[in-house]
Amino acid sequence: MSDNLTVSMISGLKPKTTAYYIWDKSGERGAGRLGVKVEPSGQRVFYYRYFWQGKRQFILLGRFPELSLAQARLQCKEHAGLLKEGKSPKAEIAEQLFTAEQQQREDQLKGSIEQLILGYTTKMREDGKRTWQQVLYRLEKETYLFIPKATKARDVTPAHIKQILAAIIKRGASVEANRVRSYLMAAFNYGLKADNDPANHLQNVMFGLLMNPVSVIPKQSAAEKPGTNWLKLDELLQLMGDFPKAPKVGLLISQLLNLCVYTGGQRPHELVSSRWGAINWEEKTLLIVADVSKNKRDHLVPLTESAIGILEKLKAENLNQSPYIFPQRIKSEQHLRTDSFAQAIIYYREHFSLSPSFIARDIRRTCKTLMGEAGIAKDLRDRIQNHALQDVSSKHYDRYDYLVEKRKALEIWESRVNNHQQQQENNVVNLFRQK
């Protein structure tokens, strides 16, 4: 047939044993043709046919009469326009579908739990919170096991949160469950305000939260007891001596423990985050800069001979020229993670008979307690450990660094550790001699 297609003509087309086409006569040359394919079942389907690079191309438009003849002609006109522009209509349709699918995926992520967590931890980073990476790691590790990343944050329920925390508690980590709960609470509080925050960097993301699903989940109060655990001097020396012998601990982590001790219980994070440039080898000091320090104030730590010896050994072993005193083994441009230190303590406890309740953060308490036993005054111990002093004079007016006093105190502490260690070794020698 060569006549122009009409509604009555299409309606009157009869099926045959094989499918066949009829083509519209109208239309200019090189602009393609509208046609109808008649199936053996009697179904009539509109197609657009055109030639591209010498080959016939077909585009399915729709089934008649659901798609009207006028609508089919309009589609053909749009495809013909693309041909005139030197574009393949089929390729353009594929591109449009891809773009639409990509947009749909992006829309599905808008306001997702993944974006909530990333938004919250990004704000932590912008606010100078040094734990933002650790918080991000923990939230991703625990949350996505039970809540898919693309889940809308507003669709998260208390039941989801309960499921996450119950799994942690089942592992026997009630303290960790409380930590993750507090992170999730803060993340959803961030989301509640983010939609109306003009400073929010996720301007195109709306969470639409009406409540914080974590708020109705109680803390594990029995797990949150103030830390009181500390090691006696013999136990501390046992830990320092046996630490590198425990599987999966390694010499770098062992040196971190030793440096924590000889600097009077500095925070492990502040040591691993410090760079080689913070050490003044001539004056024998380590400057923990404000960006690293927990209280956001520079903290000058005098280095004893034992501490200097540890640092010299670490410097000699810094074959990758990392800027950090304690670099990661694989990514030397990044500093060691403090959770590696905590995990090493766990490995140690599994192989040696140290108190099973002892954890990494107890190192700091141990040093402070034992320095007190050595006769070092509490206010000086506070300054050595860079506690935030709350009195007005200390906060706003006292800028003296107490370097001389801190150095003398740490030398007393160093002497007590080393002399006790030497005494233990002598006792062992004498014991063997008596035999």
pLDDT tens readout for residues 270-311 = 999 999 999 999 999 999 999 888 888 899 999 999 999 999
Element (H, E) at 182: helix 174-194
The verdict on 37 and 163 lying in the same domain is no
The verdict on 255 and 358 lying in the same domain is yes
pLDDT digit string, tens, across residues 114-163: 999 999 999 998 887 778 888 999 999 999 999 999 999 999 999 999 99
Domain boundary among 79, 107, 135: 107
Element (H, E) at 431: helix 403-434
Side chain identity, residue 374 = A
Lowest mean pLDDT among 42-51, 241-250, 281-290: 241-250
- Residue 429: per-residue pLDDT: 41
Domain boundary among 57, 83, 107: 107
CA distance 134 to 129: 10
Lowest mean pLDDT among 28-37, 62-71, 369-378: 28-37
Q: Helices 233-242 and 362-373 sit at what angle, rounded to 10 degrees?
A: 130
CA distance 353 to 58: 78
Q: What is the DSSP letter of 14?
A: P
By residue range, what is the domain housing residue 117?
113-223
Lowest mean pLDDT among 16-25, 49-58, 81-90, 103-112: 103-112
Arithmetic mean of pLDDT over the chain: 86
% residues pLDDT > 70 (the chain): 88
SS3 state at 17: coil
Task: Find the largest Cα–Cα distance for the chain.
Answer: 121
The verdict on 197 and 261 lying in the same domain is no
The verdict on 258 and 311 lying in the same domain is yes
- Residue 428: per-residue pLDDT: 41
157 half-sphere exposure, CB direction, 13 A CA radius: 2
Kindly state whether residue 100 falls inside one of the protein's structural domains: yes
Structural domain count of the chain: 3
Using the Cα atoms of residue 20, residue 25, residue 27 and residue 30 in order, give the sign of their dihedral.
Answer: positive
pLDDT digit string, tens, across residues 8-31: 999 999 999 999 999 988 767 778
Kindly state whether residue 160 falls inside one of the protein's structural domains: yes
Residue 348's pLDDT band (cuts 50, 70, 90): confident
Kindly state whether residue 2 falls inside one of the protein's structural domains: no
Kindly state whether residue 228 falls inside one of the protein's structural domains: no
The verdict on 239 and 214 lying in the same domain is no
CA distance 54 to 181: 65
Using the Cα atoms of residue 155, residue 158, residue 161 and residue 162 in order, give the sign of their dihedral.
Answer: negative
Contacts of residue 247, defined as CB under 8 A and 6 or more positions apart, other chains included, come to: 347, 351
Cβ atoms of 50 and 79 closer than 8 Å? yes
Q: What is the DSSP letter of 58?
A: E
- Residue 212: per-residue pLDDT: 95
pLDDT at 435 over 50: no
The verdict on 280 and 386 lying in the same domain is yes
Kindly state whether residue 15 falls inside one of the protein's structural domains: yes
The verdict on 251 and 146 lying in the same domain is no
pLDDT at 376 over 50: yes
Residue 105's pLDDT band (cuts 50, 70, 90): low
Contacts of residue 173, defined as CB under 8 A and 6 or more positions apart, other chains included, come to: none
% residues pLDDT > 90 (the chain): 55
Kindly state whether residue 311 falls inside one of the protein's structural domains: yes
Kindly state whether residue 1 falls inside one of the protein's structural domains: no
The verdict on 256 and 319 lying in the same domain is yes
DSSP strands (E only) in 80-143: none
The verdict on 150 and 260 lying in the same domain is no
**What's the whole-model pTM score?**
0.56
Residue 427's pLDDT band (cuts 50, 70, 90): low
CA distance 148 to 247: 36
Side chain identity, residue 32 = G
Kindly state whether residue 340 falls inside one of the protein's structural domains: yes
- Residue 397: per-residue pLDDT: 44
Retrieve residue 224's tokens. 């949150």
Q: What is the DSSP letter of 336?
A: P
The verdict on 238 and 162 lying in the same domain is no
pLDDT digit string, tens, across residues 155-191: 999 999 999 999 999 888 887 888 899 999 999 999 9
The verdict on 219 and 280 lying in the same domain is no
- Residue 420: per-residue pLDDT: 78
Domain boundary among 192, 223, 254: 223
The verdict on 317 and 395 lying in the same domain is yes
Q: Mean pLDDT across the stretch 201-218?
A: 85
CATH number at residue 90: 3.30.160.390
